[in-house]
Amino acid sequence: MSWGTELWDQFDNLEKHTQWGIEYVDKYTKFVKERSEIEISYAKQIRNLSKKYQPKKNSKEEEESKYTFCRAFLTSLNELNDYAGQHEVIAENLTSQIITDLTRYLQELKAERKSHFHDGRKAQQQLESSWKQLESCKKKFERDCKEADRAQQHFERMDADINVTKADVEKARQQAQVRHQMAADSKNDYHSYLQKFNQEQHEHYYTVIPNIFQNLQDMEEKRIERLGVCMKTFAEVDRQVLPIVGKCLDGMTSAAEGIEPKTDSNQVVESYKSGFEPPGDVEFEDYGQAMKRTVSENSLSNSRESKEKPAGKSKSKLWPFIKNKNKGSVPEDFSHLPPEQRRKKLQGKIDELKKDIQKEMDQRDALTKMKDVYVKNPQMGDPASVDPRLAEIAMNIEKLQSEEQKFENWLAEVEERMPSKSETHRKSVIYETQNSTVSNNCAQDRESPDGSYTEEQSAETQVKAVANRTSCAPESDDEFDELETIGTCKALYTFEGQNEGTISVTEGELLYVIEEDKGDGWTRVRRNEEEEGYVPTSYIEVLLETNAKDS
């Protein structure tokens, strides 16, 4: 069906319809533009979300990287960032492939429509002008005919009147003939203009208007086809990024499947293992044997009376791997850490130093080659200009190697002090043979290591923990003022005994054991006849004697 033949008389309606079609193209262009803005905004929000939950650049990042679930989350964040990038690609493709193209086409469409309707209006104006000329000729012919009739009637009246002269009659006859001639000329003009108008009208409605309307129809069909192509492109833009989006989602899935709970739980052991041995069994206290009575509270307080300090003003750690918040900077040799953690820190520091040394050596090798080139080709540079840098690198290497040796010595000391499995087994056998029966007399009143070894204990609490060791023993008398030795021990670490009832020891010092650990983490030792007190059991290596002698 053709607009030119079917809609020859619907010029105004076609004008409204084509204008609505242009407005629809503009409407769809705005829709795609808003979709593009949404994609950009969404991609920005996704990127900000990914950035917000990225691990911060601090020491905690290193800790998080040890666990598989943290690494999986980091991978998911990175994949999410790439996912956001695909939405930016969608926005860019919508802009370049649809919005820009439709905006340009919309201007062309408006210009083409304007041109077609301009031609249509011009043809209508020409037809209307011909119609007006035809009407003018028609009216003139009608007027001349009426004038000729009136002149003929006047002549007939004059000819019938006997009172009118012959000259007047002749004059009226001549006037009537002129009028009839004018009417005949007007008739001929009207007839010619009528034929001309009919020809123009036929050409207008069967040639000019159909051509113009056909052009409008072609324009409308191209507009609709263009919209269909843009809608297809709209879907294809999304489809193009689906493979990459799928890879991002596959990466998230793979990261989630790579989480290993068992590995992470083992990593907790690696991160927090102290290297200390658990305290041994509580010794059975046989009150039927008077030889191994614990000293009374009075004798303990009297022996340390001169070193007593106000309670609550001093804080000392009772458990070797509890951190003291009052400490200042971290020691260079990591002596504040438990043996196992200290060993790991020292090993990590040694690895870092080795990397730095290798880096300096690579720079030295590169500069040495450069110097050789300068020596062989002086025009390329002065060999002496490299010497200061080589000397600086040599000093750096020497300094780093010295640091490495220092940390290796500390590492060797730590590994030497850490108890072996055979020693642990030997101690457990001794404890089992001595503690075949459990005594509940004093064990209920003592504090366990879990309960008593809290971070930042006050001096009063620490003294109370030590005093609990003597609260169950009978009051001392003269014959039990001096306890017999039950073994020897070697101090594994230096301990500053600043509270009542404790004694200071230095690393490697040999002491006598006069009272075993009762389950509270403290062992009573003696240096000489005047100095004795309690030290943390984990700070010493105890060797009990079968036949103990007096100190």
DSSP assignment string, 34-102: HHHHHHHHHHHHHHHHHHHTSPPSSHHHHHHTTSHHHHHHHHHHHHHHHHHHHHHHHHHHHIIIIIHHH
Which residues lie below 8 Å from residue 56, measured CB to CB, with a gap of 6+? none
Q: Which position has the higher pLDDT, 44 or 4?
A: 44
Asked whether 302 and 482 are in contact (CB, 8 A), the reply is: no
**Which three-class secondary structure state does DSSP give residue 494?**
coil
Percent of the chain whose pLDDT exceeds 90: 30
Q: How many CA atoms lie within 13 A of 192 on its CB side?
A: 6
Would you tell me the crossing angle of helices 100-160 and 11-52 to the nearest 10 degrees? 170
pLDDT at 477 over 50: no
Q: Which helix (H) or strand (E) holds 543?
A: strand 540-544
The model's pLDDT over 131-184, given as tens digits with 9 standing for 90+, comes to 998 899 989 989 989 999 998 888 888 888 888 788 888 888 898 899 899 989
pLDDT at 467 over 60: no
Q: Which position has the higher pLDDT, 299 or 340?
A: 340
Do 406 and 495 reside in the same domain of the chain? no
Per-chain mean pLDDT for the chain = 78
**Which of the listed residues 415, 445, 468 is the one where a domain comes to its end?**
415
**Which three-class secondary structure state does DSSP give residue 368?**
helix
**193 belongs to a structural domain:** yes
Percent of the chain whose pLDDT exceeds 70: 78
Do 345 and 230 reside in the same domain of the chain? no
C-alpha 44: how far from chain center:
11
Do 124 and 256 reside in the same domain of the chain? yes
Do 398 and 521 reside in the same domain of the chain? no
Domain CATH number, residue 382: 1.10.287
Domain CATH number, residue 526: 2.30.30.40
Question: What are the Cα distances from residue 131, in Å, to 70, 121, 471?
Answer: 89, 15, 134
**538 belongs to a structural domain:** yes
List the domain range (segments joined by +) for residue 526.
487-544
Do 98 and 197 reside in the same domain of the chain? yes
**549 belongs to a structural domain:** no
What is the model's pLDDT at position 60?
66
Do 408 and 492 reside in the same domain of the chain? no
**Which of the listed residues 360, 383, 415 is the one where a domain comes to its end?**
415
Q: What is the mean pLDDT of residues 380-396?
A: 86
Do 258 and 386 reside in the same domain of the chain? no
Do 241 and 344 reside in the same domain of the chain? no
**516 belongs to a structural domain:** yes
Report how far residue 259's alpha carbon sits from residue 252's, in angstroms, rounded to the nearest whole number: 11
Report how far residue 476's alpha carbon sits from residue 303's, in angstroms, rounded to the nearest whole number: 13
**141 belongs to a structural domain:** yes
149 burial (CB, 10 Å; 0-12 / 13-18 / 19+) is middle
What is the model's pLDDT at position 59?
57
Query: In angstroms, what is the C-alpha Rg of the chain?
Result: 57
Q: Which helix (H) or strand (E) holds 222?
A: helix 209-257
List the one residue out of 515, 511, 526, 520 whose CA is nearest residue 538: 520
Report how far residue 86's alpha carbon sits from residue 251's, in angstroms, rounded to the nearest whole number: 15
What is the model's pLDDT at position 222?
93
pLDDT at 298 over 50: no
Q: Give the residues across from 487 on adjacent strands.
A: 513, 544
Do 18 and 154 reside in the same domain of the chain? yes
Report how far residue 175's alpha carbon sits from residue 177's, in angstroms, rounded to the nearest whole number: 5
Asked whether 497 and 503 are in contact (CB, 8 A), the reply is: yes
Q: What is the mean pLDDT of residues 55-77?
A: 82
Residue 315 DSSP one-character state: B
Q: With bands split at pLDDT 50, 70 and 90, how would you rate the model's confidence at 375?
A: confident
Asked whether 513 and 548 are in contact (CB, 8 A), the reply is: no
What is the model's pLDDT at position 289?
56
Q: Give the residues across from 280 on adjacent strands.
A: none
The model's pLDDT over 177-228, given as tens digits with 9 standing for 90+, comes to 998 999 899 889 889 989 989 998 898 889 998 999 899 999 999 999 999 9
Domain CATH number, residue 35: 1.20.1270.60
Report how far residue 534's alpha carbon sits from residue 513's, in angstroms, rounded to the nearest whole number: 10
**Which of the listed residues 415, 439, 472 is the one where a domain comes to its end?**
415
**228 belongs to a structural domain:** yes
Q: What is the mean pLDDT of residues 412-418?
A: 77
Q: Give the residues across from 524 on adjacent strands.
A: 515, 534
**Which three-class secondary structure state does DSSP give residue 303?**
helix
Helices (H), 418-524: 421-434, 449-452, 459-471
Do 181 and 88 reside in the same domain of the chain? yes
- Considering its fold, how many domains does the chain have in total? 3
pLDDT at 62 over 90: no
The token pair at 397 is 């290497």
Q: With bands split at pLDDT 50, 70 and 90, how would you rate the model's confidence at 33?
A: very high
List the one residue out of 454, 456, 446 whose CA is nearest residue 517: 446
**454 belongs to a structural domain:** no
Asked whether 507 and 416 are in contact (CB, 8 A), the reply is: no
Do 375 and 511 reside in the same domain of the chain? no
**291 belongs to a structural domain:** no
Do 386 and 499 reside in the same domain of the chain? no
Asked whether 289 and 437 are in contact (CB, 8 A), the reply is: no
Q: With bands split at pLDDT 50, 70 and 90, how would you rate the model's confidence at 63?
A: confident
What is the model's pLDDT at position 545?
66
List the one residue out of 118, 132, 121, 114 whose CA is nearest residue 204: 121
Residue 305 DSSP one-character state: G
